[in-house]
């Protein structure tokens, strides 16, 4: 089996072990591919079956391990960190898993609200909890939380989603302060509307409105995956306890 530090590997993430949630499709799948291309060993969590992710696992048997399951459960979150330790350590966690149940607030059911918070925010809490335990042992770690520009601006029909993503900002800031002595740092990335994943499922009128507000128009998920990979790399080690907007600039 090839180790993460194999001299045959190349790229800015050579030697790094990265765990990622929400890896089955969209931005998560693109991020897995980018991390592998840049030399990382990856532990990828996915809730739904993904043929593309399975093909990547077949191609990179020595550097990609899959952890199916709901990251908002204790068992899956613990297994994600445990699988990373089989590579010898865990350098970075990328929390990308998210769902949306868009409705105007007065029509939103309690069940939909709770499910969005459970996956998007409780999932982040559990993934972080077990990742930090591993990172404390090596006295190093990076956690990248994939948020959304809607956490900063709000968005009609997305009260649950925007609230859950805003919760990531508070979580990230607190984790960076609690574990600074262990050299564990956090960063929150807030993308704008993207051409894949949840962005692709936004209703056409709302998508046009969001895209029209972005100075650079619709965002490319591949570029966002590259940004995530950079934030998981040693080159970003001094970026800590902050929110980075990747929205192309907004009209007000």
Number of other CB atoms surrounding residue 111 within 10 Å: 9
The catalytic position among 161, 179, 182, 252 is: 161
Q: How far is it between the farthest Cα atoms of the chain?
A: 57
Q: Which residues pair with 244 in a beta bridge?
A: 189
Distance CA 89, CA 75 (A): 19
Catalytic, 161? Answer: yes
Are the C-beta atoms of residues 38 and 12 closer than 8 Å to each other?
yes
Taking only Cα atoms into account, the Rg of the chain, rounded to an integer number of angstroms, comes to 17
Distance CA 211, CA 238 (A): 32
Angle between the N-to-C axes of helices 159-178 and 110-117, in degrees from 0 to 180, rounded to the nearest 10:
30
Burial 177-213 (b: 16+ CB within 10 A, else e): eebeeeebbbbbbbbbbbbbbbbeebeeeeeeebbeb
Distance CA 152, CA 94 (A): 20
Q: Tokens 């966002």 appear where? A: 224
Q: Which residues are catalytic?
A: 161
């Amino acid at each position: 089996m090839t180790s993460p530090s194999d001299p045959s590997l190349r790229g800015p993430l050579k030697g790094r072990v990265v765990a990622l949630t929400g890896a089955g499709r969209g931005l998560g799948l693109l991020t897995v591919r980018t991390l592998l291309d840049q030399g990382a060993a990856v532990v990828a969590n996915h809730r739904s079956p993904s043929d593309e992710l399975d093909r990547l696992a077949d191609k990179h048997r020595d550097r990609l391990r899959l952890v199916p399951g709901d990251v908002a459960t204790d068992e899956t979150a613990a297994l994600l960190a445990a699988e990373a330790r089989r590579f010898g350590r865990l350098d970075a966690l990328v929390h990308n898993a998210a769902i949306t149940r868009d409705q105007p607030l007065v029509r939103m059911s309690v069940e939909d609200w709770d499910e969005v918070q459970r996956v998007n925010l409780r999932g982040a809490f559990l993934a972080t909890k077990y990742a930090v335990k591993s990172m404390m042992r090596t006295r190093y770690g990076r956690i990248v939380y994939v948020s959304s520009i809607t956490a900063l601006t709000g968005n009609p029909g997305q009260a649950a989603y925007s609230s859950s993503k805003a919760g990531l900002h508070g979580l990230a800031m607190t984790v960076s302060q609690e574990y600074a002595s262990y050299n564990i740092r956090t960063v929150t990335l807030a993308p704008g509307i993207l051409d894949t994943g949840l962005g692709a499922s936004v209703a056409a009128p709302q998508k046009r409105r969001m895209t029209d507000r972005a100075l650079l128009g619709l965002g490319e998920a591949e570029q966002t995956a590259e940004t995530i990979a950079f934030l998981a790399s040693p080159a970003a080690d001094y970026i800590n306890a902050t929110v980075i907007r990747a929205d192309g600039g907004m009209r007000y």
